[in-house]
Amino acid sequence: MKFTRCFTLLASAAALTLAVSAQAREYSVSTVLSDAFPWGQAAQKWADLVAERSEGRITLRVYPNAQLVAGDQTKEFSAMRSGLIDMAVGSTINWSPQVPELNLFSLPFLMKDDKDLDALTQGEAGKLSFSAIESRGIVPLAWGENGFRELSNSVKPLRTPADLAGLKIRVVGSPLFQDTFTALGANPTQMSWSDAKPALTTGAVDGQENPISVFDVARVDQVGQKYLTLWHYMADPLIFAVNQRVWKTLPEEDRELLRQAALDAGKWETELSRGQQAKRLADIRERGVETVELSAEERQAFVEATRSVHEQWAPKIGADLIKAAEAAIAQ
């Protein structure tokens, strides 16, 4: 009799576990940009893959335009860590105020091209960056791409650090960006993207820096940005991530489903973003924007002008991480 009762209790517990596992769940996913941009498309692809592979049992509801943090993109990481946001496809720039190690990707002229970027994200530097995120209560799952950031302005073509002297350049809320543009002789002005376009329209700021996809989709050329310098001065990889407390409530099979869907969405979005670059650039030129491509010598002048920024920020980022990044790029 005791054995039968025990078996019945175990069976009931197992059934309850299966029932909980099978329950439909909905989670919020924050992004800064909508699905008009590759960034927003990355989040939506993740949501679509999860819905398909869970057969509708798990819903990721995407909230674009940083609406869960009232448009303040630099607060996204904190909001997710506190539990106000379940998941996010966020950027290293926006999360760097809370995770200083992520400033690695914002060091000016550390990376030259996609190969350098991949060497960082897919190697030891990427693992160390993920560890830094996880130590602060967020579980990172996969990398995506926001692209290398280029510089535009309404005044003149920019080829040398001297050309930036006195120009007001809109930057995101990161001290590293302030230091970089100050070192180049510009006047960096911090503001959200929602405030940036009106400021560019009125001439309150002269220029801005963003990936080609943002320049193209947001039609930055329509707010007086007639000159675009393709200087690839830093890249902004995206990170698919989950609040740690939410992660711990998930059964292992759901964790694996979310992780694999994030990996697949990140790979899909990276290929999409890179594949669109040439067409986007051609369209921008057709709209009358004058583009400047730096020679190796011209790029080196910017490297020298921002060397002090590397020296200043290396201790904040961490010696081991800097060493891993430099080794990966050298190889």
Give the pLDDT score at 22. Answer: 56
CB 138 within 8 A of CB 268: no
Mind giving me the DSSP string for 105-134?
Answer: GGSTTS--SHHHHHHHHTSHHHHHHHHHHH
- Could you read off the pLDDT of 305-324 as tens digits, one per residue? 999 999 999 999 999 999 99
Contact 174, 97 (CB under 8 A): yes
CA distances from 53 to 10, 39, 289 (A): 29, 22, 44
196-227 tens-digit pLDDT:
989 999 999 999 999 999 999 999 999 999 99
Give the residue ranges of DSSP H helices in the chain: 2-22, 38-53, 76-82, 92-95, 114-121, 124-134, 175-183, 193-202, 212-217, 244-249, 252-286, 296-305, 307-317, 319-330
Asked whether the beta carbons of 240 and 89 are under 8 A apart, the reply is: yes
CA–CA separation, 228 and 209 (whole Å):
9
Q: Where are the domains of the chain?
A: 25-330
**Residue 174 pLDDT:** 87
Cα separation, 100 vs 93, whole angstroms: 10
Q: What is the pLDDT of residue 46?
A: 98
Distance separating alpha carbons of residues 199 and 196, to the nearest angstrom: 5
CA angle 301, 307, 313 (to 5 degrees): 150
Whole-number pLDDT of residue 74: 87
Contact of 47 with 265, CB cutoff 8 Å: no
Q: According to the model, what pLDDT value does residue 72 have? A: 86
Least confident of 18-27, 137-146, 234-243, 290-299: 18-27
- Position 194 scores a pLDDT of 82
SS3 308: helix
> DSSP letters of 198-264?
HHHHHTSS-EEEEEHHHHHHTTGGGGT--EEEE----EEEEEEEEEHHHHHHS-HHHHHHHHHHHHH
Residue 199 CA neighbour count, 13 Å, CB half:
18
- Give yes or no for a contact between 196 and 173, defined as CB atoms under 8 angstroms apart: no
Phi-psi region of 273 (alpha: psi -120 to 50; beta: other; left: phi over 0): alpha
Q: What's the rounded Cα separation, in Å, for the pair 319 and 128?
A: 11
Q: Give the pLDDT of residue 302.
A: 98
Answer yes or no: is pLDDT of 12 > 70.
no
User: Cα separation of 284 and 280, whole Å?
Assistant: 6
Within 8 A by CB and 6+ apart from 172, the residues are 73, 74, 93, 94, 190
Q: Which uninterrupted H or E stretch holds 25?
A: strand 25-30
- The residue type of 265 is A
pTM of the model: 0.90
Q: Which residue has the higher pLDDT, 197 or 29?
A: 29
Distance CA 128, CA 121 (A): 10
CA geometry: angle at 204 spanning 202 and 210, to 5°? Answer: 95
Query: What is the predicted pLDDT for the residue at 67?
Result: 94
> Average pLDDT of the chain?
93
184: nearest Cα among 219, 215, 153: 153
CATH number belonging to domain 25-330: 3.40.190.170
